[in-house]
Structures are given as structure tokens and as C-alpha cells.
Structure 1
Amino acid sequence: MESTESSGSGDIQRTLELLWEPDRRPSRGPKPTLTVDRIVQAAIRIADAEGLDAVSMRRLSTELGTGTMSLYRYIPSKAELLDLMLDRVQGPEEAGGPAVDNGDWRTAVEDLARGTLAVYQRHPWLLQVNQARPVLGPGTLDSMEATLGRIRTMGLTDPELLSVVIMVDGYVSGVARTNVHEVEAEQRSGLTDSEFWAAQTPYLEGVIASGRYPVMASLAEDTFGSAFDHFEFGLQCLLEGLAVLVERRRTGGDEAPTVRPHACPPTLRPAEDATATG
């Protein structure tokens, strides 16, 4: 699934106003009959059901029973609307609501991973959006505040705590993308996953038995079965790795690495560096 949209591609100032002051009304014109919240919720419903490409101002006007031009009194374009949608679906309530902070960072990371997966499953269109430059609104910041607050007990540096969040999202989004691709493949081919692999079985059994792939031939029968929870296994491996780092920091066996700035080309170095040897 390729990215079809990018966050932060609209009028950033207007987007921030809509995120943080959604109830501010125009100073002129007739009394508003809609709200930004209703428009955003309608857009999310359409995207969930039909994909992000189905969301347009024209389609929203039909959904809300109003004229297309009326929507522009609330939201300038689809670019700003997308940022509002992103902030809404990434709020803490979407990931299962606020969790009790019991001081256990491991539980917090598990909650983050499972909650994030649930968000991607409810809103698969998120995987189509390039979010390298997000416009930060209350939903996103509320989630980040809650998560960072719960994992502070890891004893890592602040940049490392942020890196933990980024790492978890990278792992989860990869799993979610694979799941979405599987659903899309079944819809396009008309074959279930079982039917697809059953069609290959006679050929695979023959080449495996030929001796050309001895390692593959030695694998247990259930190796490629659907019963094994790859997401859970990967998550536990990630947590075990973090636990080793946390313990080393706690016992003083591992210091936080020194982060060195990126090397600058000679032509971009400060003038004093160039004359230091003169």
C-alpha cells in the first residue's frame, strides 16, 4: 500500500487553529449549521468504509446533507481535513482509553503496541498517509503525554524514550501493513489464503523432497501454520531487548551513548573552524 497523502501539506496555521480552537466561529456570514467535529467524524467514517481516496469535499457534502461550498466555511481543503482526521484517530481514547499507570514500563509498552495495532485495524487508511511531518494537535499530544509519562520509569534519556515510541510504531505499522495487504490480496484474487497456498502445495512438496532445500525440508509441519502469533512473538522479543538495556542502565553497566552531531561538509563549517590553524 503506497502513500497517497501527506500530513502537514495544507495551511499549517489554519490547521493549528482548527485543531486547538475548533469552536471558533466565523465573524461574518450566516449562523453555522455544522461543526468541525461533525465534518471530521463523517470523513473518518467514509475513509474507514471506503478508503482515503473516497474522502472529498463533494462526498462529505452529500453525507452531511449540505452544499459543497458550505464546507469551505469550516475547513479550507482536504489537506487540512486530513490533519484533523489524523489527530482524531490517534487520540488516547482510540487506543483503548487511558490506562492505569502502575509504574510498570513493560506493561505500558505492551499497551502502546496493542493499542496502536487496534487503531491501524480500525483505520487501515492510516497506512496510506506519509506522516513524516505531522501537525501536532490535542489528540496526538495527549497520547504522547500519557505514553511518555508511563515509560519514564525505564530510566532512559528523553531522546531514547521517544525512540522507544518510534520503534514500537515502526514494528506495529509493519505488521498492520502486512495484514492489510493480505486482505487486499484475497479481495483482488478471489482466493482465500488457504486456497492460495493449497494451489502451490503439489509443486512445493516436490521441490522440497528433491533435496535441494534441506533446511526447509527439516522444518516442523506447523512452521508456516496460522496458529503461531508472530505479532506477539515479535513484541515479546522487542520487550526483552529493552529489558536488558533498562537493567544495564539501572545497575550502571551501560551509560547513555554520546550523540554526535552530523558531520558538516567543509564548506558549511563555521568560519572560525577554517581559521583555527592559521
Structure 2
Amino acid sequence: MDAPDRADTSMSVWERMAQPPPAPRPVLTHARIVAAALRVADADGLDAVSMRRLATELGVSAMTCYRYVSGKDDIIELMLDRVRAEMLLEQPSAYWREVLRASALRFRQVVLRHPWMTEVPGRILFAPTPAHLALMEQQFTALDGLGLSGEQMADITRAVTAYTRASTHDEIARERLRAPEGWSSGQEARKANLARLSFLLEGGDYPVYQRYVREASPRDDDNARFEFGLDCLLDGMAARLNLPQSPTG
């Protein structure tokens, strides 16, 4: 059967991918399209991903791409699934805390590698994909058998994901905001605003914060800050829900 001129928009991209490939052999594959889209997005952001740009990257016509995907939304969904697959733990521990902690650290690493993930539209971000379901399965399996209800397991995974997403997105946002000012770090941003801060503190209205500024040595260690908050979150969950505090229980 010859490949259709355009992908069937009545089916999801996952249903279309399950169909037999175009005969006699595909000019493209979904994997090649996604790989090209990831290269573009990682280098230039999500807005740079277009059917025309991908066609140029792949050395084909835009119409050829349309035989495999219905448009940019399909491509972003496939990209999102690919990077979510990077978040899966290869050999997850049997201990719930180690799984959730390792999963959060991996999530952060992947998003920092692919900062365009912070730009994904909600209609795509919240749509289930195979890798998303695999991630949920991995985390729920770690919590299964601990005497938790399904809703409690969902609340735990949501809380860890929310903390990780918010912290990582904030880290990316701060970097994006510093770049136009020529600041490469938080330290440079603080130095640029030192005169303004000193003026505001002179009146003595913020004594505790002023003491912090004088005595503390702010560190630009996003990894340490993230892990501290994550450990506090997991400690609180363990205490509140009486979960095992060690692999041996």
C-alpha cells in the first residue's frame, strides 16, 4: 500500500505508528524525525521546530514529513516521549525512597539537558505517552505493598514531581533571565545589584535578612539546594505516612 499524502488526523500519533510502514520502504522513520527535532529544539528552542526546518534538516520535502506526522503537535509529543524515556531508571531499587529520589534527580538532569521542555503546551504535556506511563508504573511499583491507598501513592508521586518540576523550571528561568544581562551566575547578578540592596538595608527594616547578608556566604550550588529540598520532602512523607526509613524497614 502506498503511503498516504498526509497522516490521518483522526488517530493519535501512537495509533498511526502501529500501522504498517509505507511500502516498499519508508523514506523516513519516526525515530529520524524525532532525532532531528530534538537537535533543533536543544540548539534553538521549541519555537524553532517547524515542518519546514525539519524537512531541511532531513533532506526531504515538508510533504514527506506529513506522511508520518500530522503537524508540529505530533512532533512535540514524540519528542516529549523520547526525553521521558531518558528519565526511566535502568535498575530501580526495591526501596521506595531510593526510587523516588533517583527518579527526581534523573528528571532534573533530563530537563536541564532539554530546557525546551519548559515550553511544551499543556495540551501536549498532559497527554499520556508510553514513556510517561512507564515512569508512573516505575514509581507506583516502588510504593506498592507499603500499605498505601492508590490516592496516597498518586499524591506522593505528584508531590515529588511538582517539587522537581518547579525547582528545575525556576533554575532554567533564572538562567534565561540572567543571560541578556550578561550575568553567567547568581553571584554576578547579586554583585550587579549590590548597591541597590545596600541602600534598602540601610534603614534597618530587615534586620534578620541583613544579618544573613553579612554573615552568610551564598553558594551557587543548584544541585545541593535541590537535593536538600528533595530530602526534606521525602523525610516528611516518610514521617507522616509511617513509611520505611531504610531499605530494611
Name the TM-score class by shorter chain. 0.7 to 0.9
Residues 209 and 217 of structure 1 are in contact (CA less than 8 Å); yes or no, is this contact kept in structure 2? no
Correspondence for 1:147 among 139, 157, 171? 139
Q: How far 1:150 moved relative to its partner?
A: 1.4
- Give the equivalent residue in structure 2 for 1:114: 105
Q: Indicate the SS of the match to 1:120.
A: helix
- Give the equivalent residue in structure 2 for 1:158: 150
- Give the equivalent residue in structure 2 for 1:180: 172
Q: How far 1:132 moved relative to its partner?
A: 5.9
Identity across aligned pairs (percent)? 33
2:16 is aligned with 1:24: no
**How far apart, in 2, do the equivalents of 1:173 and 1:11 lie?**
31
Correspondence for 1:198 among 185, 188, 191? 191
Alignment of 1:41-60 (within 5 A): 41-60=35-54
- Give the equivalent residue in structure 1 for 2:235: 240
**How far apart, in 2, do the equivalents of 1:196 and 1:36 lie?**
43
Residues 109 and 151 of structure 1 are in contact (CA less than 8 Å); yes or no, is this contact kept in structure 2? no
Alignment of 1:210-229 (within 5 A): 210-219=203-212, 221-222=215-216, 224-227=218-221, 229=224
Give 2:200's aligned amino acid. V
Of the structure 1 ranges 113-122 and 219-228, higher mean CA displacement relative to structure 2 is found in 219-228
Across the two proteins, how many residue pairs are aligned to each other?
Answer: 234
Moved over 4 A (4+): none
**How far apart, in 2, do the equivalents of 1:130 and 1:162 lie?**
23
Measured on the aligned residues, the alpha-carbon RMSD in Å equals 2.6
Q: Any stretches of 5+ residues in structure 2 without a counterpart?
A: 1-7, 245-249
Deviation sequence 1:13-69 (CA, Å, 0-9, x none): 2323145x2x62247xx6421111111121112111111001011100111111111
- Give the equivalent residue in structure 2 for 1:264: none
Correspondence for 2:72 among 58, 78, 86? 78
Q: Indicate the SS of the match to 1:75.
A: coil
* Greater gyration radius: 1
**How far apart, in 1, do the equivalents of 2:209 and 2:98 lie?**
36
Q: What's the TM-score once normalised by structure 2's chain length?
A: 0.83
Q: How far 1:215 moved relative to its partner?
A: 1.5
Correspondence for 1:67 among 61, 64, 67? 61
**How far apart, in 2, do the equivalents of 1:132 and 1:14 lie?**
13
